[in-house]
Structure 1
Amino acid sequence: MTTYDTDVVVIGAGPVGLTLANLIGVRGHRATVLEARHELIDYPRGVGLDDESIRTLHTAGLWERIQPFTVPHHVVRLVNGTGQVLATNDPRTREFGYPRKHGFIQPLVDKELATGLDRFDGTKLVFGHRVVGIEDRGDHVAVTAERLDADGNTVATLTLRARYAVGCEGGSSFTRKWMGAQFEGKSPSTRWVVVDVENDPIGTPSVYLGADPRRPYVSIGLPQGIRRWEFMLHDDEPTELVDDPRFMHALLARHVPDPSALKVINQRTFTHHGRVASDFRKGRVFIAGDAAHLMPVWLGQGWNSGIRDATNLAWKLTAVLAGDADDALLDTYTEERRGHAADMIDVNMAAGRVMKMGRFGGKVRDMAATALNAVPKWKSYFTELRFKPMPRYATGVVVDQASLTPGRARATFKSKNGKLAPFIDSAGELSPVGLQFIQPRVNSADATNVLLDDVTGDWWTLATWGTDPTAFLSAADLELVCRHRIRLVSFMPETQRVWAQKRYADSPAPVTVVGDTSGALKDWFDVRACGLVLLRPDRFVAAASLTRQAPQALAAVRTAGSLLTPQTTAGSTAGSTAGSTEGVRA
């Protein structure tokens, strides 16, 4: 029997690799992070943090430590060369429990992600090790790395044996090349210079995307008094020009008096890319983050898309490692993440084209923007960030709401003949399956005014509105619920919570009653033609149905997620709880 040095080798100590390792550690498994550098990157890169990513950081137990390095409600304004506001992006929803957009300082956040690994026995971050070989041996993977001295010379070689390996080492990924995956897309030749300064000389707290035909720019107010500018370089301007203080002062002179007085803490030149790998998995090896996809910076989605990868992959890896699921579950990672990453690239590339329009195109754009802003419906399209495609998984660990067929989920629960299916009572026809579930503040017997995830936990949840979730579950169903640690939850109006707690105390399995204090949960169920949802560990809706269909929905999720039955074990997989009946009352 193979002895593993670790459960997962993570290649690269960027935010994606560190987040993935933390999520693996939180769920009780080991990860070793190998990083070629001798320390974390100390210059800012990403500056935009989404509410979805914050939800993941909270799951990892790190949000309270990271929050001081962020600023909430980052407003983004698209302006033209005269300062006219063409569009404002200012979403005020807290659908997932947090403000939609934050500014942040990446080096400080990365440091907290790295420090977070110290919480877990058997999980470690190893600097100065460059991966040079990967071998998939069928039942495990061997990863070979060279240990480097301070000058980059090889002084020793290390080989780690693990169940899986994940490459998170950026756009030039060794892992992706080893996999033989194509890196499809475009790398526009346009170059940009980024400048970060201390003691923000402007002081405005938000973001301006300058669609100036003379020279597009970006100006961003960041936490701790940092100001970032990004300026596009024209094709006839050599990259070396940014090393000339006179050139840089000329760029900054339109934004601030006396550029020579600025305290520059970072200046770099970069090129935008729009690429996505043809596959995110090969056997026991995966890629995530920039190793799997590169996108322009316009909407701040490079960092966040990588965190979505880590969120999706982490729960699937840990389910397989724990013996809860068959290895086939891991095939759904590419299925679910690649399409959304490609969609985000397309949106970012389109935003770049809007930014870089010339004088004639810019005039047409400005007139169109003026007209659109006059129509409230179209204005809100930009203000509320509706142009950003939210992740929706149409294939993978999902169940079609109309047919309860596992593995695929249509966006609507209309039948093929156009009628609502399977039942008629509905205020709408859109299915929530494949979308992330909301996170309002709630009450429970043990907590008051907390976010929903703090009550339901970070694993599977079967929740109903206004009823006992065990009502239609058989003894075999409850055994499956226990086998996979599925938390049974009843959402109730806060006015009925105490009654429900008493009423469900004698249910055949423990039921957590959640008091809906704001009405957000009631409103969610009211327009979605379902009384039951099965939530995945990443808080996406795996299935939605009527409460009476609970057994069918549960069985379909078991199939879609390759979940093992109480009678089935994962062979040599460690940590299996097959056959356990703990928590089910006789």
Structure 2
Amino acid sequence: MSTTHDSDVIIVGAGPVGLMLANILGMYGHSVTLLEALDELIDYPRGVGLDDESFRTIQTVGLVETVRPHTNPQHIMRLVNGAGKVILVNNPQTLEFGWERKHGFIQPEVDRALFDGLARYENVRVLFGHRVEDVVEDADSVTAVALVTGADGQITEERFRARYLVGCEGGKSPTRKRLGVSFEGESPSTRWLVVDVNNDPLGTPNVFLGADPKRPYVSIGLPHAVRRWEFMLHDDETEEQVTDPVFVNKLLAEHVPDPANLEFIRRRVFTHHGRVASSFRKGRQIVAGDAAHLMPVWMGQGWNSGMRDATNLGWKLAAVLSGQAGDALLDTYTDERKEHSKAMVDLSLTFGRFIKVTNPLAAAARDAASSVLNLFPQVKSYFADMRFKPMPRYTRGVLADPSTQVSGSAAASITRRIIPVRTANTTVSPVGVQFPQPRVNTPAAENVLLDDAIGNWWSVVVWGNDPTDVLPQASLDKLSALGARLVSIVPETQREWAQQHMTDGVLVLGDHTGQVKKWFDDRPTPMIFLRPDRFVAGACLNQHGPATLDAILRAMSFTGRSATAPAAPALVH
């Protein structure tokens, strides 16, 4: 007879997305059962690029110190032609979100750090060797039926019940198939051979994309002296042929003096896919990561897009589970994540087509055009600073329009015809994008990252003012029920005065670098409503605060029920 086990959320798949989502829900105090069909975590490299947005999420769940040793920050990418000439450099210098924009990383080690982090939570358990064969959903819950093979070879059935189930089982996701949603996009016929080796025979730390018309390739220096190569395969080359050591050594002969003396980790053929599910949620079942979208490897965004999913979904599930928000909040997960996922897929496919040109005349034309464009500093910096990568901008979801205070959507520009807007340095709206993460001084510590100071739930950030002076009591009561932290950021010169004169309970932060002042100087929005995922839900003049707050609460289906806000993390970094 099977036994039923209860928890708040079932996560299917102990890959990086499932592990991160379990960490977020565990941090917020919710019970999680993570079911994995394999007997252990995958121990070979897959993803190799980790970006600043993902590192910010790693910071939120308190795992920077265990992840950082398995990364190499400031991963520079050089696109070279068939002659080895550099035609494009990607080397962004920004620390906008508190971390270097690009890192190389060893995925098995980082995934292990996410897994080990779950030991902090008594309410989270991971069960390996549990293959989910069926899911039954009713009005109040969802039940996963898992088959478990015992040490004696006997197969037993176990049932797990929860309020929601999230499928993070990869591109062939049974959860997505059960939802009956389409998986739109393309799977180019081009195949690639990936080769990973230990004891990097080159030792150079960065990335080379070889746009060689004879055979495009990738060469990537990774942490822990790991080197990865990827080679495009021709149509007449079989998988058996290209994984033969003699063939692989011939491919590597142009890259290393002695291919036969390498310590190989793996040799595998793969095909790029670019697909996005038509919906990420149906009823009580949700998909995330590769189950929701498949990314070609060119922009290194597969792992990172999954982290964005977990970051977006995690706080929303927490709000619904705590009773703060209605079930409709979960519909905004598709609203907010689908379009950006599609944009990243499209960019990756386009970049891939640029690299894998095999016609010599077309390749020569590409190289010539790149040389000319590199003569223009603005064009050159556009690629160097990675400004071609579309940053997430949510236009529908948990948002309030900065001009009209309309709930649930936000235009990209502020159009209100009032002098503070007309005289602003920019009228590009900050609503729907990530708020930067500068370093600030706090009453307890100096030079800390903003997120470590304000905690991991909602915040209202006001420049120069006491939030309790510019918001009416009715709004303050709603913010209290939401569990939002009231934050005032002032020039460092004023911090001591502000700490003495502002209301108890308001967190006063000192802007000792001037970065926060510069941000508010440029924008006519001195009041920011900051979501737990660090996206701006609302930005406005102080007198528009009450209407903006009400619009945000409607967009998140806020119930008015109070819930205990998660504790702020220790002030580190």
Query: When the two structures are superposed, what TM-score results if normalisation uses the length of structure 2?
Result: 0.96
- Output aligned runs, 1:504-583, within 5 Å: 504=502, 507=503, 510-566=505-561, 576=563
CA RMSD, aligned part only?
1.5
**1:355 & 1:114 partners in 2: Cα distance?**
36
How far apart are the structure 2 equivalents of 1:210 and 1:486? 49
Give the 3-state SS of the residue equivalent to 1:116 in structure 2. Answer: helix
Q: Which residue of 1 aligns with 2:102?
A: 101
Structure 1 SS opposite 2:299: coil
Q: Tell me the residue number matched to 1:248.
A: 248
Residue 488 of structure 2 corresponds to residue 490 of structure 1? yes
Relative to structure 1, the CA distance from residue 4 to residue 460 in structure 2 (aligned partners, 3 Å threshold; closer, same or farther) is: farther
What corresponds to 1:313 in structure 2? 313
Deviations 1:500-552 (A, max 9, x none): 11110xx2x61101111111111111112111000000000000001122211
Listed as ranges, the matches of 1:174-185 within 5 Å are 174-185=174-185
Correspondence for 2:377: 376
Distance 2:222 2:564 in 1: 47
Q: Secondary structure at the match of 1:323?
A: coil
What's the secondary structure of 1:518's corresponding residue?
coil
CA contact (8 A) 1:197 1:262 kept: yes
Aligned-partner Cα distance in 1 for 2:5–2:456 = 26
Which secondary structure state, in structure 1, belongs to the residue aligned with residue 162 of structure 2?
strand
C-alpha distance in structure 1 between counterparts of 2:465 and 2:82, whole Å: 58
Deviation per residue, 1:456-512 (Å, 9 max, x gap): 1110000111111111222221111111110000011111111111110xx2x6110
Quote the residue 2:410 is aligned against.
409
Which secondary structure state, in structure 1, belongs to the residue aligned with residue 440 of structure 2? strand
AA aligned to 2:443 is A
Matched to 1:15, the amino acid is P
The total of aligned residue pairs comes to 561
**1:160 paired to 2:160:** yes
State the identity %. Answer: 56
Shift of 1:370: 0.3
Which amino acid counterpart does residue 472 of structure 1 have in structure 2?
A: V
> Could you tell me how far apart the structure 1 residues matched to 2:345 and 2:141 are?
33
For residue 150 of structure 1, report the CA deviation from its aligned partner: 7.4
Q: Structure 1 residues 470 and 307 mapped into 2: Cα distance closer, same or farther (>3 Å)?
A: same
Give the letter aligned to residue 433 of structure 1. V
Report what 2:474 is aligned to.
476
Q: Which runs of 5+ in 1 are unaligned?
A: 570-575, 579-586
d(CA) in 1 for partners of 2:411 and 2:374? 33
Q: Which amino acid aligns with 2:483?
A: R
Per mean C-alpha deviation after superposition, the further-off stretch among 378-387 and 468-477 is 468-477
Q: 2-side partners of 1:425 and 1:502: how far apart?
A: 33
Partner amino acid for 2:462?
T
1:94-493, aligned counterparts within 5 Å? Answer: 94-149=95-150, 155-358=155-358, 359-414=360-415, 423-493=421-491
Query: What is residue 582 of structure 1 aligned with on the other side?
Result: none
Contact in 2 for aligned 1:193/1:232 (Cα 8 Å): yes
Query: For 1:344 and 1:39, how far apart are their aligned partners in 2?
Result: 30
Q: Deviation per CA, 1:42-81: give whole Å up to 9, x if none.
A: 1100000000000001111111111100000000011111
Aligned-pair distance for 1:117? Answer: 1.0
CA distance in 2, matches of 1:494, 1:428: 25
- Distance in 2, matches of 1:233 and 1:191, equals 5
Q: Shift of residue 149 of structure 1?
A: 4.9
Q: Cα offset for 1:402?
A: 0.6
1:32-47 map, 5 Å: 32-47=33-48
Deviations 1:164-219 (A, max 9, x none): 00000000000000000101000111111111111111111000011110001000
Report SS of the residue matched to 1:480: helix
* Offset of residue 316 of structure 1: 0.1
Letter in 2 for 1:530: T
3-state DSSP class of the match of 2:115? helix
Distance, in Å, in 1 between the alignment partners of 2:548 and 2:165 is: 33
Distance 1:404 1:421, change over 3 A: farther
- For residue 353 of structure 1, give the secondary structure of its aligned residue in structure 2: helix
Counterpart code for 1:244: D
Residue identity in the other structure for 1:510: G
Counterpart CA distance in 2 for 1:4 and 1:491 is 46
Quote the Cα distance in structure 1 between the aligned partners of 2:425 and 2:418: 11
Residues in 2 aligned to 1:19 and 1:36: alpha-carbon distance in whole angstroms: 18
Separation in 1 of the partners of 2:213 and 2:17?
35
Letter in 1 for 2:507: T
Aligned-residue offset at 1:112: 1.1
Q: Could you say what secondary structure the match of 1:393 adopts?
A: coil
CA displacement, residues 92-146 of structure 1 (integer Å, 9 cap, x when unaligned): 0000000000000001111111111111112111000111111221111111111
Q: Aligned partners of 1:149 and 1:182: how far apart in 2?
A: 36
- The one-letter code of the counterpart of 1:230 is E
Supply the distance in 2 between the matched residues of 1:389 and 1:364 (Cα, whole angstroms). Answer: 26
Distance 1:22 1:445, change over 3 A: same
User: Amino acid of the residue matched to residue 305 of structure 2?
Assistant: S
Q: 1:327 and 1:421 mapped to 2: Cα distance?
A: 40
What SS is found at the alignment partner of 1:471? Answer: helix
